[in-house]
Amino acid sequence: MKFGGTSVASVERIRNVARHVKREVDAGNNVAVVVSAMAGKTNELVAFCREASMLHDAREYDAVVASGEQVTAGLLAIVLQEMGIWARSWQGWQIPIFTDGAHGAARITGVNGSNIVSRFKERGEVAVVSGFQGIHEPTGRLTTLGRGGSDTSAVALAAAIKADRCDIYTDVDGVYTTDPRIVPHARRLDRITFEEMLEMASLGAKVLQVRSVELAMVHDVPTYVRSSFDDPDSPKDGTLICAEEDIVEQQIVTGIAYSKDEAQITLRRVADKPGVAAAIFVPLAEANINVDMIIQVVSDDTITTDITFTVSTADYERARAILEKAHDTIGFASLQGATDVVKVSAIGIGMRSHAGVAARAFKALADKGINIRAITTSEIKFSVLIDAAYTELAVRTLHSLYGLDKAA
């Protein structure tokens, strides 16, 4: 069972979490619980680090931001004990959860679930685990898994202890056809495939960390997203993330996602000759900058062309600086950038077998006067880059277009 920030936002909310745990214990289950920091806590800790120094040591950032989860793990153990349930808190290093050394965005490399499992066997003890953190064994230092990383802690632990299920409790009662905060007509999905959830998460649906879905898919962990705000004694349905063969009713489009974490760069009048794309993208790759959408315009004069691509907003300034520096090798007339853009995507495994799914979207967006700056497509999704001002209109338009709106 994993409980996110809003679910543990106060001691009162933690008591409510404990009642969910008690229900599972009373039903005869062994339970490992992964908790996030109280809502807003991690943001506060990140801000402290920035205030202390804009260029802080990543190891010390981890030392600071991992503390939020330690508080909630201890508190939940106390509350469970008070309810008469055997419970013990565990920090990442105590389990241990091993990670690589990429401080601030570490990847889990292994989890030793044996201590937790022996406590299950000895006395049915509930393990309360601090999410978001692990240990880099060679240096013995604490690491964190990147924002939203408690989801990944939970799935990795579930895989390690061979749990029957990984329940992710959050502030919505499942995965919706799109973010319910911006489309009130969004519907809860009963089921979604691992592949679709992976795309949804990668393309901006922050309900699960991308890495947690990858792990769930690789280790085949049935993952269930549900609400901690349900009455603990009569919980309602959530969304099961499962393999494709377990999906009964298949839609062409399952969900719409959007991401504001995109910035557009256009290089005007670059030479239209072999090696130019390499001259642009190799230096960016060497600086660890991920490039997402790429468009090269066919030129009129066959001598020069325009190249447009997107990077994440965090890399935008760095990318510009690298390109300006490489100006002479690339040879472009001007560099134009835009950060007020958003990527809207539609996802569905049904796209594999249906033609013209994206074309309908282009028409619908045009009818609303929304200009498309860039497009990418792959087997089970397509994305369009548009002006950020049209985010909600575009998401709502596509949501209705593919019949995802909840019946009124």
| Cα separation values, 398 from 4, 255, 359, 371, 384, Å | 29, 9, 12, 14, 11
**Of the candidates 79, 66, 105, 108, which has an alpha carbon nearest to the alpha carbon of residue 20?**
79
Q: How many angstroms separate the CA atoms of 198 and 20, rounded? A: 27
Cβ 262 to ligand ASP shortest distance, Å: 21
Instruction: Single out the segment in contact with ligand ASP by CB under 6 A; choices: 35-43, 88-96, 168-176, 295-303.
Output: 35-43
Q: x/- contact string, 125-164, with Mg ion (CB under 5 A)?
A: -----------------------x----------------
Among 24, 60, 137, 171, the residue binding ligand ADP under the rule CB under 6 A is: 171
Residue at shortest CB range from ligand ADP: 4
Among 13, 62, 68, 76, the residue binding ligand ASP under the rule CB under 6 A is: 68
Footprint of ligand ADP on 137-156 (CB under 6 A): 148
Q: How many angstroms separate the CA atoms of 320 and 310, rounded? A: 11
Q: How many angstroms separate the CA atoms of 266 and 334, rounded? A: 8
Cβ 184 to ligand ADP shortest distance, Å: 12
Among 16, 30, 42, 170, the residue binding ligand ASP under the rule CB under 6 A is: 42
Q: What is the DSSP string of 294-329?
A: EEEPPPSSSSEEEEEEEE-GGGHHHHHHHHHHTHHH
Q: How many angstroms separate the CA atoms of 267 and 333, rounded? A: 7
Q: Is 132 in the site for ligand ASP (CB under 6 A)?
A: yes
Among 16, 30, 36, 310, the residue binding ligand ADP under the rule CB under 6 A is: 36
Residue 176 interacting partner from ligand ASP, Mg ion, ligand ADP, none (CB closer than 5 to 8 Å by kind):
ligand ADP
Residue with smaller CB distance to ligand ADP, 6 or 308: 6
Cβ 195 to ligand ADP shortest distance, Å: 15
Residue 134 interacting partner from Mg ion, ligand ASP, ligand ADP, none (CB closer than 5 to 8 Å by kind):
none
Q: What is the CA 336 to chain-centroid distance, rounded?
A: 29
- Axis-axis angle for helices 11-26, 67-82 (nearest 10): 60
Footprint of ligand ASP on 179-238 (CB under 6 A): none
Residue 308 interacting partner from ligand ASP, Mg ion, ligand ADP, none (CB closer than 5 to 8 Å by kind):
none
Instruction: Single out the segment in contact with ligand ASP by CB under 6 A; choices: 75-83, 145-153, 159-167, 254-262.
Output: 145-153
Q: Is 36 in the site for ligand ASP (CB under 6 A)?
A: yes
Contacts of 315 by beta carbon, 8 Å cutoff, 6+ apart: 263, 289, 290
Cβ 42 to ligand ASP shortest distance, Å: 3
Residue 181 interacting partner from ligand ASP, ligand ADP, Mg ion, none (CB closer than 5 to 8 Å by kind):
ligand ADP
- Binning the chain into helix, strand and coil, the percentages to the nearest 5 are 40, 25, 35
Is 244:188 a contact under the CB 8 Å cutoff? no
Q: Is 68 in the site for ligand ADP (CB under 6 A)?
A: no
Helix (H, G, I), strand (E, B) or coil at 237: coil
Q: What is the CA 7 to chain-centroid distance, rounded?
A: 18
Q: x/- contact string, 275-314, with ligand ASP (CB under 6 A)?
A: ----------------------------------------
| Cα separation values, 185 from 6, 176, 315, 399, Å | 23, 10, 34, 9
Q: Provide the binding-site residues for Mg ion, judged by CB under 5 A.
A: 4, 148
Q: Provide the binding-site residues for ligand ADP, judged by CB under 6 A.
A: 4-7, 36, 148, 170-172, 175-176, 178-181, 205-207, 255
